[in-house]
Amino acid sequence: MPKEVAAEARALARGTITPTLRRGRVLLEVREKLGWVRLAGAKARTRKFHIPFVLVGGARKIRIRAVLLKHRHRIAKSSPRVIRVKPGADSKAKGAAGPAPLSYWGAWIGNQLTGVQPPWDMSAVSKFEQMLGKPLSILEFSSPFADCSKAPCYFYEFPTKSMESVRQHGAIPLLSWASQSTGNLHPTDFQLSDLIGGAYDSYIRKFAEAAKAWGHPYFLRFDWEMNGPWFGWGEGANGNLPGEFILAWRHVHDIFTSVGATNATWVWCPYVHGSASLASFYPGSAYVDWTCLDGYNWGTNPAAAYGWNSFNKLYSTAYQQITETVAPDKPMMLGELAASEYGGSKAAWIREMFEALRNEYQSVRGLVWFEKAGNGEDWLLESSESALNAFATGVQESRWASNVFSGLETSPIPPP
């Protein structure tokens, strides 16, 4: 381990495993306030390892150790080494790697903290931030087109008051808006063909005009996870035909443009698993401002035991498809993600997620944790102290922006 490294610059740890194990995986861990946190990792072959790493933050002394894993089990660790981190590294110098880009972070928060879900109750946001020790910069919430539990359907207006509450908090609203109804008396309503044919044009136009009247930038995540059949707007659901999603998206987008509601930043958000070709759902560069991915590690949770999946296993294939082929010029956010406590270490999963985002997912400029529970799901960060600490440590990195965006007036919203 070097005795001294420059902040934000690439450094290298080297070592030898003795005496018996020839192959394994070695992790570097750094000591933070809340405990040892994963920094980087690499495979060890013929008893040797070389691990590049980058330390963010200001000048300080820090302790780092190496941990040896075999089949995910920790079997040995080195004594901690104290190294000095000095400021002012030139990220363009030979052999140096620049810092991870500044990014938004936040959550979709349920009603478990106060009994009322944000943004209708912003005190829940404050409690969430107190748990993590840092204010968020994105707050996500959702709205369907309508409530059709009784006739006639009640169509929801643009949530001006909620949008303003989020903005006044210094965060950016992320509205997940769904072309569906709750309590639908007529299941075949709200097909994509209905949108394309203009059945809801007057409602969409009124919604867009109210968005324009509010006038401030917000993320609009419209009809997400369209590449799966579990929502009424998905391909293969509700009588929807291949190709209709793109036409419906463009139709709604065109209505917003026609009334001048340009303060909406359009977020296109497929699920990490689904159709093999995400390109068949992409409305086109002129209709999308940010790309997005959703993905959950369900583990062995009895509610949906899909098996334990690492962050990379969940996200890498879809991420590469979007950033290399579908929309390489667009910033990306993770619109919904979470992990279970069943089947593995949720805390380790979170640490690995932050490491992967730092080192391998440079196009991801926004992160939203799904801080809601129900139907046996255990997504809440407070499901264990170790998981909460792991996430709290991760967002303390300087790359994750806090609530300083009440004055944001740029549309489409750029990465921070």
Structure confidence by residue, pLDDT tens digits, 261-278: 999 999 999 999 976 799
Q: Among 55, 86, 117, give the residue marking a domain's end.
A: 86
Retrieve residue 138's tokens. 């994105």
Beta strands in 156-273 (DSSP E): 172-182, 218-222, 264-268
Give DSSP secondary structure letters for 319-379. Answer: HHHIIIII-TTS-EEEEEEEE-STTS-HHHHHHHHHHHHHHT-TTEEEEEEEE---TT---
pLDDT of residue 31: 83
The pLDDT tens digits of the residues spanning 380-401 come to 999 999 999 999 999 999 899 9
* Range with lowest mean pLDDT among 67-71, 210-214, 293-297: 67-71
Q: Which of 37-46, 112-121, 168-177, 289-298 has the lowest mean pLDDT?
A: 37-46
Same domain, 287 and 215: yes
Counts for the chain of helices (H) and strands (E), in that order: 8, 17
Q: What is the mean pLDDT of residues 149-173?
A: 96
* CATH for 10: 2.60.40.10
Residues 334 and 241 in one domain: yes
- Alpha-helical (H) ranges within 215-345 are 244-259, 311-321
- Do 129 and 109 contact (CB within 8 A), yes or no? no
Output the CA–CA distances (angstroms, integers) from residue 165 to 9, 34, 122, 211, 237, in the order listed. Answer: 39, 32, 7, 15, 35
Count the domains in the chain: 2
Of 13-17, 48-52, 305-309, 314-318, the one with minimum mean pLDDT is 48-52
Q: 367 lies in a domain?
A: yes
* CATH code, domain carrying 298: 3.20.20.80
pLDDT of residue 253: 98
Question: Last residue of a domain, which of 43, 60, 86?
Answer: 86
Residue ranges in 200-243 assigned as alpha helix (H): 201-214
One domain for residues 10 and 147: no
Residue 192 lies in a domain: yes
Q: Does some domain include residue 216?
A: yes
The larger pLDDT score, comparing residue 292 to residue 29, is at 292
**Same domain, yes or no: 69 and 140:** no
Q: Is there a contact between 37 and 351 (Cβ–Cβ < 8 Å)?
A: yes
Residue 211 lies in a domain: yes
- Mean pLDDT computed over 197-216: 98
Please check whether residues 115 and 256 belong to one and the same domain. yes
Nearest to residue 289, comparing CAs of 195, 212, 193, 221?
221
Q: How confident is the model at residue 96 (pLDDT cuts 50, 70, 90)?
A: very low
Q: Are residues 198 and 58 in the same domain?
A: no
Categorize the per-residue pLDDT at 22 as very low, low, confident or very high, splitting at 50, 70 and 90: low
Q: Where a domain ends, among 86, 117, 148?
A: 86
Residue type, 100: A
Same domain, 37 and 128: no
The pLDDT, as a whole number, for residue 8 is 66
Distances (CA, A) of 149 to 74, 79, 152, 232, 340: 54, 63, 9, 16, 33
Q: Are residues 122 and 60 in the same domain?
A: no
Mean pLDDT across 332-350: 97
Q: For residue 112, give its domain range.
A: 104-395
75 with 143, same domain: the answer is: no
What is the Cα–Cα distance from 232 to 190, expressed in whole angstroms? 8
Both 159 and 43 in one domain: the answer is no
Give the angle subtended at the CA of 78 by the CAs of 74 and 84, to the nearest 5°: 125
Same domain, 18 and 150: no
Is 178 in a helix, a strand, or coil?
strand
Helix (H, G, I), strand (E, B) or coil at 194: helix
95 band by pLDDT with thresholds 50, 70 and 90: very low
Average pLDDT value for residue range 116-145? 96
CA-nearest of 15, 405, 333 to 172 is: 405
For residue 408, the model assigns a pLDDT of 96
* Average pLDDT of span 119-139: 95
Whole-model pTM: value is 0.78
Q: What is the pLDDT of residue 133?
A: 92
Q: Are residues 57 and 122 in the same domain?
A: no
